[in-house]
Amino acid sequence: MNDMKKSWEKAGSKLSALGLKLKYHFEEERSGDADDEDDDVVRNAVEKLREAFDDAFDAIENAAKDPAVKDDVKMSALLLRDALAETFSEAGESMRKAFSKLDRDHEDESQGELPEPEGSDPAAG
């Protein structure tokens, strides 16, 4: 369980760092438009929304060209893959144990023995 937690923490940390870099690119794009916004105070709400989308997509485009962002995206994907692999591995192991116990219990019942209740001590009775 500890490996799974560490895997998810690593993936979360890398995704958080990637988010900060994307935010930086977005803010950098928006700061270039500040003078235009001062000159044209009254804008149409739809126009502002369109510009915000344009800026966001420009920031994403610029970020996609940034080698540090590319590296973070790649590393985030690898860490996410590792976290998912660890999660499914632990889930699979838990399922194997559960099904193995069911098989043993079924074998005991088919041999005429009743399974002991969990937590009971057969020597005490």
In a domain, 17, yes or no: yes
* 3-state DSSP assignment of residue 49: helix
Is 122 inside a domain boundary? no
Domain-embedded: residue 80:
yes
Q: Which of 19, 15, 27 is nearest to 75 (CA)?
A: 15
115 lies in a domain? no
Residue 10 lies in a domain: yes
CA 55 – CA 32 distance, rounded (Å): 10
Number of domains in the chain: 1
Is 9 in contact with 82 (CB distance < 8 Å)?
A: no
Average pLDDT over residues 26-39: 63
CB 20 within 8 A of CB 63: no
pLDDT at 121: 57
Looking at per-residue pLDDT, the higher value among 117 and 108 belongs to 108
Q: Is residue 65 part of a domain?
A: yes
pLDDT of residue 116: 61
pLDDT at 35: 54
Closest Cα to residue 75, out of 21, 17, 20? Answer: 17
Residue 122 in contact with residue 116, Cβ under 8 Å? yes
Q: pLDDT tier at 120 (50, 70, 90 boundaries)? A: low
- Residue recorded with tokens 């998912």: 84
Which residues constitute the domain of residue 14?
2-110
Average pLDDT, the chain: 76
Phi and psi at residue 84, in whole multiples of 5°?
-65, -40
